[in-house]
């Protein structure tokens, strides 16, 4: 694509090559490395071709358009056309956008043809598919849905039986324009602070609002960032453009997909408010390069009139309760506390009662009695509910002492406990789900292993020969990461590390969590998780699996917490930016240790327990620190 354009604008092509660090012409015309379908390359390539096509259109037309709009990525070319950004700035933003969306990748998309968006949403709601989202509202009968890959595959049965309805998987590798892109949105919002948008010379209809872009630079940044994780309202936007008297629509850029959509929309436009067009003129004045005067657009509504629901973040200087997951467990964890603290014991006993009804042996006996010294606590069927029970017990002690969090986060399974502490999930549902997950994994997933590596996470990609067959399961801090995989692959990775004098530590695991081995149980787990009653978050909650502060907790998140890689380093940074104090409510002080190592022991984390101190004394010390406001404030770190 773009052959003639590359020849017509060699200086801009050279500028693009310098910005991108590769030959965009070669990418578009030859694609020798077969990367053009990768979104971090697709987006810059399509933008460059579209931007050059706009310049050619502008050279051939004496006047500006009445208004412009772009579908998803195309909005950047529309903003460039309207003078909001110059070519260099727009391409730099597109390059960053593509990279961030690729990093937040995972998931799939499918087009549903022959059914209205309202009917699609109703069908997903009836099927309790809260892991699927409408991503693009393209025409009256073309809507794109997105979500986890397995969920997109499973959803086909919801639509394929209807006469005239088609369900088509799209060739993309992520769930764009959905909450899965929230990490990309947050990171991109920070990038946008470094640019200075100009007011549009003529109206640009925004995907996010289906209304003209605002003129205020801060509002422009907010709309553009939110576009990444919110649906594209193209049907509504295009209907507004067609509502302009005598509107003629031209598609600029590679392909003719929008032309085909516009033909469908023209036949059946959405009933929209077109009062933004305040006058009609049979003959337009020659506007040359001046902004549009007649017919004029009413003042664009401020973004403040459209407030997308945003995830709440940790209040500045706030306290975060953090819950750990698999790998931190050990026999006799919390035993002294259980023997000596009535409040902790009461909460844990309630968990034991639920768990014992589904386990072959009483959980308390397994944890505290039926073991040999130095045995690793490996059996998921017992270690999983044990971790949940300990987290529930420690949370109960915090409540009893009047110590409350300002936000929560979790590592792996710990995200479930964070959801409990944030009010979105009941402890009983979390415990019962943990029992079912452990049973599914033990019955259906092949044996696996997990290994902690004490080195910078970049070595996983830099030395692939050392980690053949392994999955990057977690990035804990700047010098520590986790890999998972089949036992033989993990043994080979440990051996390769020894050859390079790299320290490793096997985790007490018999299965490879946070990797593709778990895909065998995704469908049955999600079927059970969707039956759980989930409530709105009462507190801000950060998800290392989604790398973002959450808007809500859904069944898909509960799955991603144990299947997706854990980006705990991002969680540390999210807390640090808010000057927060991380309180580790796990059995080992593992998360507090990660924070101290990453931030060079700058005093922004505390731990309730560790393996080498008596539980009651360790917990009491923590409580005294938290109950003293002066002591608490000293632990906080400025962002």
Q: For the segment 258-293, what is each residue's pLDDT rounded down to a tens digit?
A: 999 999 999 998 887 766 665 433 334 343 333 322
The token pair at 582 is 């991380």
How many C-alpha atoms does 124 have within 13 Å on its Cβ side? Answer: 24
Q: Are residues 574 and 428 in the same domain?
A: yes
The answer to whether residue 182 sits within a structural domain is no
User: 134 and 143 in contact (C-beta within 8 Å)?
Assistant: yes
User: 618 and 608 in contact (C-beta within 8 Å)?
Assistant: yes
Residue at which a domain ends, from 305, 330, 360 = 305
Q: Are residues 427 and 358 in the same domain?
A: yes
Q: What is the structure's pLDDT at 612?
A: 67
Q: Are residues 386 and 522 in the same domain?
A: yes
Q: What is the structure's pLDDT at 245?
A: 80
Q: What is the structure's pLDDT at 582?
A: 94
Q: Are residues 493 and 378 in the same domain?
A: no
Task: Supply the pTM of this predicted model.
Answer: 0.58
Residue at which a domain ends, from 508, 528, 547 = 508
Element (H, E) at 405: none
Question: In the chain, which residues have pLDDT < 50?
Answer: 279-309, 629-639
The answer to whether residue 421 sits within a structural domain is yes
* N- to C-terminal Cα separation, the chain: 46
d(CA 105, CA 478): 22
Q: Are residues 52 and 141 in the same domain?
A: no
DSSP E strand boundaries for 292-417: 319-323, 407-410
We report the CATH number of the domain holding residue 93 as 3.40.366.10
Q: What is the structure's pLDDT at 103?
A: 86
The answer to whether residue 222 sits within a structural domain is no
d(CA 243, CA 248): 10
Residue at which a domain ends, from 146, 169, 192 = 169
Torsions phi, psi for 16 (to 5 deg): -65, -45
The set of residues, in sequence order, having a beta carbon less than 8 Å from that of 196 and lying 6+ positions away, is 217
User: 323 and 585 in contact (C-beta within 8 Å)?
Assistant: yes
Q: Are residues 370 and 501 in the same domain?
A: no
Residue 109, classed as helix, strand or coil, is strand
- DSSP one-letter code for 585: -
Domain total in the chain: 4
Q: How many CB atoms lie within 10 A of CB 368?
A: 16
d(CA 389, CA 392): 5
For 296-316, b/e burial (b = at least 16 CB within 10 A) is ebeebeebeebeeeebbbbee
Q: Which residue range(s) make up the domain with 574?
A: 319-445+510-635
User: 19 and 96 in contact (C-beta within 8 Å)?
Assistant: no
Residues with catalytic roles? 72, 177
**Rg of the Cα atoms in the chain:** 27
Q: Which of 574, 610, 577 is nearest to 591 (CA)?
A: 610
The answer to whether residue 216 sits within a structural domain is no
d(CA 391, CA 587): 8
Q: What is the structure's pLDDT at 427?
A: 96
Q: What is the structure's pLDDT at 277?
A: 64
Check the CA dihedral 214-217-221-224 and report its sign.
Answer: positive
Q: How wide is the angle at C-alpha 172 spanned by C-alphas 166 and 174, nearest 5°?
A: 110
d(CA 16, CA 47): 10
Q: Are residues 407 and 532 in the same domain?
A: yes
User: 509 and 382 in contact (C-beta within 8 Å)?
Assistant: no
- Angstrom CA distances, 344 to 35, 338, 350, 592, stand at 55, 6, 10, 21
- DSSP one-letter code for 212: B
Q: Is 461 exposed, middle or buried (0-12, 13-18, 19+ CB in 10 A)?
A: exposed
User: 544 and 409 in contact (C-beta within 8 Å)?
Assistant: yes
Q: Are residues 498 and 525 in the same domain?
A: no
The answer to whether residue 199 sits within a structural domain is no
Q: How many CB atoms lie within 10 A of CB 177?
A: 24
The answer to whether residue 290 sits within a structural domain is yes
Q: Are residues 22 and 96 in the same domain?
A: yes
The answer to whether residue 191 sits within a structural domain is no
Please list the residues that pair with 76 across neighbouring strands.
none
Q: Are residues 518 and 494 in the same domain?
A: no
Residue 171, classed as helix, strand or coil, is coil
User: 388 and 351 in contact (C-beta within 8 Å)?
Assistant: yes
The answer to whether residue 440 sits within a structural domain is yes
Q: Which of 412, 329, 324 is nearest to 371 (CA)?
A: 329
We report the CATH number of the domain holding residue 501 as 3.30.70.250
Q: Are residues 356 and 416 in the same domain?
A: yes
Q: Are residues 461 and 577 in the same domain?
A: no
Task: Pick left, alpha or beta for residue 317 (phi over 0 → left; psi -120 to 50 → alpha; otherwise beta).
Answer: left
d(CA 159, CA 119): 11
Q: Which of 71, 162, 157, 171 is nearest to 115 (CA)?
A: 162
Helix axes 117-126, 149-159, angle to 10 degrees: 110
The token pair at 505 is 């530590």
Strand order in the sheet with 449-453: 504-506, 449-453, 480-485, 471-477, 566-567
Q: How wide is the angle at C-alpha 481 spanned by C-alphas 476 and 482, nearest 5°?
A: 110
């Amino acid at each position: 694509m773009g052959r003639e354009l590359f020849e017509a604008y060699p200086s801009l092509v050279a500028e693009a090559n310098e910005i991108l660090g590769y030959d965009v012409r070669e990418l578009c015309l030859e694609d020798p490395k077969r990367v053009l379908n990768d979104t971090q390359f697709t987006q810059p390539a399509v933008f460059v071709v579209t931007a050059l096509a706009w310049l050619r259109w502008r050279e051939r037309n004496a006047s500006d358009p009445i208004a412009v709009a772009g579908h998803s990525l195309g909005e950047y070319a529309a903003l460039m056309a309207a003078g909001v950004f110059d070519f260099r700035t727009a391409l730099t933003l597109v390059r960053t956008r593509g990279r961030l969306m690729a990093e937040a990748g995972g998931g799939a998309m499918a087009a549903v043809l022959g059914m209205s968006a309202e009917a699609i949403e109703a069908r997903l709601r009836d099927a309790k598919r809260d892991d699927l989202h409408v991503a693009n509202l393209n025409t009256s009968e073309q809507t794109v849905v997105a979500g986890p890959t397995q969920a997109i595959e499973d959803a086909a049965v919801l639509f394929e039986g209807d006469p005239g309805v088609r369900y088509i998987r799209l060739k993309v590798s992520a769930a764009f324009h959905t909450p899965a892109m929230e990490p990309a949105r947050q990171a991109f919002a920070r990038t946008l602070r470094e640019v200075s948008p100009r007011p549009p010379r003529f109206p640009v209809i925004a995907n996010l609002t289906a209304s003209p872009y605002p003129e205020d630079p801060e509002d422009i940044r907010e709309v553009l960032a939110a576009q990444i994780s919110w649906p594209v309202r193209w049907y509504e936007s295009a209907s507004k453009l067609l509502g302009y008297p005598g509107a003629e629509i031209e598609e600029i850029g590679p392909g003719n997909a929008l032309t085909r959509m516009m033909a469908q929309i023209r036949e059946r436009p959405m009933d929209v408010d077109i009062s933004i067009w305040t006058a009609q003129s049979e003959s337009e004045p020659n506007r040359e390069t001046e902004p549009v005067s007649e017919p004029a657009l009413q003042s664009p509504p401020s973004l403040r009139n459209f407030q997308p629901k945003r995830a709440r973040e940790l209040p500045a200087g706030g306290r975060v309760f953090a819950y750990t997951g698999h790998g931190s467990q050990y026999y006799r964890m919390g035993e002294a506390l259980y023997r000596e603290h009535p409040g902790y014991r009461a909460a844990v006993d309630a968990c034991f009662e639920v768990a014992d009804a589904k386990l072959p042996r009483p959980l308390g006996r397994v944890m505290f009695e039926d073991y040999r010294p130095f045995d690793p606590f490996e059996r998921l069927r017992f270690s999983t509910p044990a971790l949940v029970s300990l987290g529930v017990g420690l949370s109960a002690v915090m409540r009893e002492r009047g110590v409350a969090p300002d936000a929560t986060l979790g590592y792996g399974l710990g995200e479930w406990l964070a959801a409990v502490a944030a009010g979105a999930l009941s402890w009983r549902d979390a415990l019962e789900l943990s029992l079912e997950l452990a049973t599914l994994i033990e019955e259906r997933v092949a044996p696996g292993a997990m290994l902690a590596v004490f080195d910078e996470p970049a070595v996983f990609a830099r030395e692939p020969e050392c980690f053949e067959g392994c999955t990057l399961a977690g990035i804990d801090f700047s010098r520590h990461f986790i890999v998972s995989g089949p036992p033989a692959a993990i043994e080979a990775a440990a051996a390769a590390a020894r050859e390079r004098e790299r320290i490793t530590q096997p985790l007490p695991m018999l299965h490879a969590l946070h990797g593709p081995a778990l895909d065998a149980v995704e469908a049955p787990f999600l079927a059970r998780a969707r039956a759980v009653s989930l409530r709105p978050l009462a507190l801000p909650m950060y998800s290392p699996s989604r790398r973002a502060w959450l808007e809500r907790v859904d069944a898909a998140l509960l799955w991603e917490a144990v299947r997706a890689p854990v980006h705990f380093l991002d969680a540390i940074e999210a807390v640090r930016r808010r000057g927060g104090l991380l309180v580790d409510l796990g059995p080992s002080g593992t998360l507090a240790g990660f924070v101290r190592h990453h931030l060079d022991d700058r005093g922004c984390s505390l731990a309730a327990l560790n393996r080498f101190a008596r539980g009651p004394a360790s917990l009491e010390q923590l409580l005294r620190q938290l109950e003293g406001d002066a002591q608490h404030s000293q632990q906080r770190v400025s962002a």
